[in-house]
A = this chain, B = another copy of it.
Amino acid sequence: MDELRLRILTDGKNLGNGILKVDGFINHQVDPRLMDACGRALADRFGPLGATKVLTAEISGIAPALTTAFHLGVPVVYARKTKPITMPDQIYLTLAPSHTKGRTVELIVSPEYLGQDERVLIIDDFLASGQTILGLVRLAQAAGATVVGVGALIEKSFEGGRTLLASLGVPIESLAVISDMSEGRIVFAA
């Protein structure tokens, strides 16, 4: 998606060690028009799959998942990282190693909002190592739901997430694929 790639080049920052700073338009400050356009683009790509629900992880997945769900006309569920007091005692919980946080985080979904008849589209801001998305896949599977696709705003293809998720056999779509961040570069895949 040209608009997102252009924004990454103008406002994104390669901090080294594979860390892409997009705090100016995705992760801390959010550009709502861009996020809406990204959600529309993802909804266009996944529309034919008949998703009944979008699933993401708090925090930075919420914005793109919300706009994608809006354009698909389905609800979005964001997995919590701590169990709120409003959640029942019986929950789906999985652990996912977080590369950027340097530790393992919990991903928690209430069975109230993820059922076995659901067709789940997983959306996140980044597809990097794929570990967070794989955690969301486990939550969906625990609920007996069917994962129908995986979408991300930005993919760092050199971190191997797509390979990890390939065995799911579902479409994986990223709006901007970065193939190289070595030596300060931000190179998009052709």
Contact = CB atoms under 8 A, between A and B. Distances in A.
A19 B35 CA distance: 32
A86 interface: yes
Given A33-B70, A66-B66, A76-B30, A19 B59 contact: no
Contacts of A70: 32-33, 35-36
Given A23-B112, A32-B75, 9 more contacts: A23-B110, A29-B75, A29-B76, A29-B112, A29-B113, A30-B75, A32-B69, A62-B66, A85-B100
A67 B69 CA distance: 13
Interface residues of A, number: 40
A66 to B, nearest CB: 5
Contact of A58 (B35, B59, B110): B59
Contacts of A66: 30, 32, 35, 62-63, 66-67
A84 B29 contact: no
Q: How many copies does the complex hold?
A: 2
A9 to B, nearest CB: 17
Contacts of A69: 30, 32
Contacts of A32: 66-67, 69-70, 74-76
A179 B113 CA distance: 28
